[in-house]
Structure 1
Amino acid sequence: MNKQHHMIKRIGAAGGATLLAALVLSGCQGAPRADAPSATSVGAALMAQKTCHPAKKCPAPTTTTTAPAPAPTTTTTAPAPTTTTTAPAPTTTTTTTAPAPTTTTTAPVPTTSSVPGQVCTNPYYKTSDANGGVSDGGYYVHNNLWNAAKYPGTTGSTEVCSYHSWNHTAYASNASGTGEVKTYPNVHKDYSGRTINSFTQLTSTFAQVSPNSGIYNVAYDMWLNGVPNDEVMVWTENHKQYPAGSKFTTVTISGVSWDVYATSGNGYIAFVPSGGKVLTSGTVDLKAMLQWLVAQGRLPATSTVDQVGYGVEVVDTGGSKATWNFTDFSITDR
């Protein structure tokens, strides 16, 4: 999608204050943090969609199965026993676009079947490309180094076992003191402009393990009314980071007390756990949050949901590489 858009800066502890800066750009520079839509996404052309990135999506893995050959039967004169020979078990090949190794599933069972709660230890896909990613199970896992080029030396690599089991290792520095987010590796799902009220349910599960060093926030990122356009974030862990805008209230949703921040015009809104609470796993009611914002006059009632993602906004990794392990993610949408 070729359009101009803005980037919102987050200010870390090293910045000492909240800074909101609007940059009007096109292409892949300095848009607000976000994940890029997948090949079937609404945005389909964004480099950095936390971000603004031309969508460079990998198609969902395809599976080709060779059926076993029919068993030959040898018959003698009656009464004649039947001798049956069974052909070898079929071989299934799963292929992903580049970098896309081919996995032959004879044995062991392919790692794409990893269950929620497991740390990814045998990834079928790896990338350090700034816009690298892979489709998996109806979601898109995206490396999304959307703002790294502005800060030479920033790196990030993603390993994927499944959409609910993946790792990201990053290096970033806030030596400049700007507190800007450099990357937002994430897993996300795209929607075709569904209105908030069209959902009878929009909830999500999550789980992750963080390095507890540097400056970052682990968060949901929802794009509304286009990608990118209006942004609503739900932070589940905040490590020395500050949201843009200013706090306007506190509300309890999904059994959690949230401090709610907004910029002028409500183009960016963030729910942040009160009192520095860290949520390493759980379930959030995203529809309830969006409906509450509509009731508060912060969102139009006609707002559409275009993308829902979950990942980490990386500002600084504390002087060395840091790794985040994402071990659960799912969206229930009806």
Structure 2
Amino acid sequence: MVTQWIRHRLGSRFLVFTVVLSLVMVLPLQASAASSSTAYDKLNFANNKYYVFNNVWGQDTVQGWWQTVYHNSDTDLGWVWHWPSTTSSVKAYPSLVSGWHWTEGYTPGSGFPTRLSDNKNINTNVAYSIKADGTYNAAYDIWFHNTNKASWDSTPTDEVMIWLNNTNAGPLGSYVETVTIGGSSWKVHKGWLDAGNGKGWNVFSFVRTSNVSSASLNVKNFTDYLVNSKKWMANTKYVSSVEFGTEIFGGDGQINFSKWNVAVQ
């Protein structure tokens, strides 16, 4: 992950006008109570239990991009993006975060970390609308460690993604099987992410067989499948965080959330 902070600037006033005008014509943007176009900026909400994260970790592969996160209220928040690229690599994952994300510690009141062997439910609800073109998904991203004190330099052991929307995109790894979890059908993919310098982690992706714009899930149902059914993950692992965001490969768009919560119980 990229750790530096970069303030994005477009060098041409004409380009700014053209891009903004194009988005206004396509997307119904509203004035924001809080917003930021600064890379890796965070907008905290719900007593700091969550934050909107302007994650642009793949920015080095494309020029002329911009991305803005906003929070008008806890039922009106999201981000807008412009990524002029048609390549198959992820450029950004702006997201809603509960817990850890390559940072020191965990968001307060999140209930993370929690050990899988503690057998706790991790219930989460999300509802959103998307207006976009290009290639992207809308997906949960859930991180796991061997420690309950993950910091900014703690390499995860596992990553679970739960895709609710797949628009022209594809998950890392190979297809394994299609399963029913939580009353819905999911295509399971298993892969390995090579982070370099001998580091990396398992990536397990559950891609819903049909796109939806809302969900009520218990993450435990997915980890039980990985731990008990497939034996791919040990129950000694700690769940460090739950996020929901859009992996953006290229294009223009906006996602707006009307519901988001995570409860460890």
* Range class of TM-score, shorter chain: 0.7 to 0.9
| 1:242 matches 2:170 | yes
Distance in 1 between the 2:185 and 2:129 partners?
21
Higher strand share: 2
Shift of residue 162, structure 1, vs aligned partner: 3.3
Structure-2 residue corresponding to 1:18: none
Query: Normalising to structure 2: TM-score of the pair?
Result: 0.75
Consecutive unaligned residues of structure 2, counting only runs of 5 or more, are 6-27, 100-105, 107-111, 194-200
Q: Within 5 A, what are the aligned runs for 1:218-237?
A: 218-225=138-145, 228-229=155-156, 230-237=158-165
Higher helix share: 2
| 1:272 matches 2:207 | yes
1:326 to 237, 257, 261: 257
2:85 to 151, 174, 178: 174
Q: Deviations over 1:169-219 (max 9, x none)?
A: 1111334x3x11111111111155321232532111011111242100000
Q: Within 5 A, what are the aligned runs for 1:62-141?
A: 121-137=30-46, 138-141=49-52
Identity percentage over the alignment? 25
Alpha carbons 2:52, 2:96 under 8 Å: kept: yes
Alpha carbons 1:139, 1:163 under 8 Å: kept: no
Alpha carbons 2:38, 2:68 under 8 Å: kept: yes
* Higher RCO (CA < 8 A, seq sep 6+): 2
Q: Within 5 A, what are the aligned runs for 1:280-291?
A: 280-291=213-224
Structure-2 residue corresponding to 1:63: none
List structure 1 runs of 4+ shifted beyond 4 angstroms.
Answer: 119-122
Shift of residue 297, structure 1, vs aligned partner: 1.0
Secondary structure, aligned partner of 1:134: strand
Distance in 2 between the 1:323 and 1:316 partners?
13
Distance in 1 between the 2:98 and 2:250 partners?
27
* Alignment root-mean-square deviation, CA: 2.2
Could you say which structure has the larger radius of gyration?
1
Alpha carbons 2:123, 2:219 under 8 Å: kept: yes
Secondary structure, aligned partner of 2:92: coil
Alpha carbons 2:132, 2:254 under 8 Å: kept: no
Alpha carbons 2:135, 2:249 under 8 Å: kept: yes
Q: Deviations over 1:275-326 (max 9, x none)?
A: xx01101201111101110011111111110111001111111xxx321112
What amino acid does structure 1 have at the position aligned with 2:40? N
- Report how many residues are paired: 214
Distance in 2 between the 1:313 and 1:264 partners?
17
Structure-2 residue corresponding to 1:216: 136
